[in-house]
Amino acid sequence: RKEVEQDPGPFNVPEGATVAFNCTYSNSASQSFFWYRQDCRKEPKLLMSVYSSGNEDGRFTAQLNRASQYISLLIRDSKLSDSATYLCVVPVMDSNYQLIWGAGTKLIIKP
């Protein structure tokens, strides 16, 4: 099993809809996880961090389910500009300096 797994999609979603996708992980006792956003042929950029208590930033909500070992990202009232690939990132156990990256979930928002 891969250490970090994501549904590659693409998720085709109409503008204004709510969309959610998950990321499953193994072997991490970290207290925080991360979602990055990557536009086509661009560099990744941090979208938000995910803590045990979850995190909300405007239309974006991230949750952590430690018992089932997954994190989720919910996007409400989706915009055309939300079209991107969303990367799940998990810290490596016993390391302060290394992260494991999922392959990403591609999201396409349609007008």
Partner 1 sequence: NAGVTQTPKFQVLKTGQSMTLQCAQDMNHEYMSWYRQDPGMGLRLIHYSVGAGITDQGEVPNGYNVSRSTTEDFPLRLLSAAPSQTSVYFCASSYSSGLVNTGELFFGEGSRLTVL
User: Which residues make up the interface to partner 1 (CB under 8 A)?
Assistant: 4, 8, 30-34, 41-46, 49, 87, 89, 91, 95-104
* Smallest separation, CB 97 to partner 1 (Å): 6
| Residue 74 or 103 with smaller CB distance to partner 1 | 103
| Residue 21 or 78 with smaller CB distance to partner 1 | 21
Instruction: Output the CA–CA distances (angstroms, integers) from residue 31 to 2, 41, 53, 64, 77, in the order listed.
Output: 20, 31, 10, 10, 29
* Smallest separation, CB 16 to partner 1 (Å): 30
Residue 28 DSSP SS3: coil
| Residue 83 or 104 with smaller CB distance to partner 1 | 104
* Smallest separation, CB 19 to partner 1 (Å): 21
Classify burial at 22, counting beta carbons within 10 Å of its beta carbon; exposed 0-12, middle 13-18, buried 19 or more: middle
β-bridge partners, 57: 60
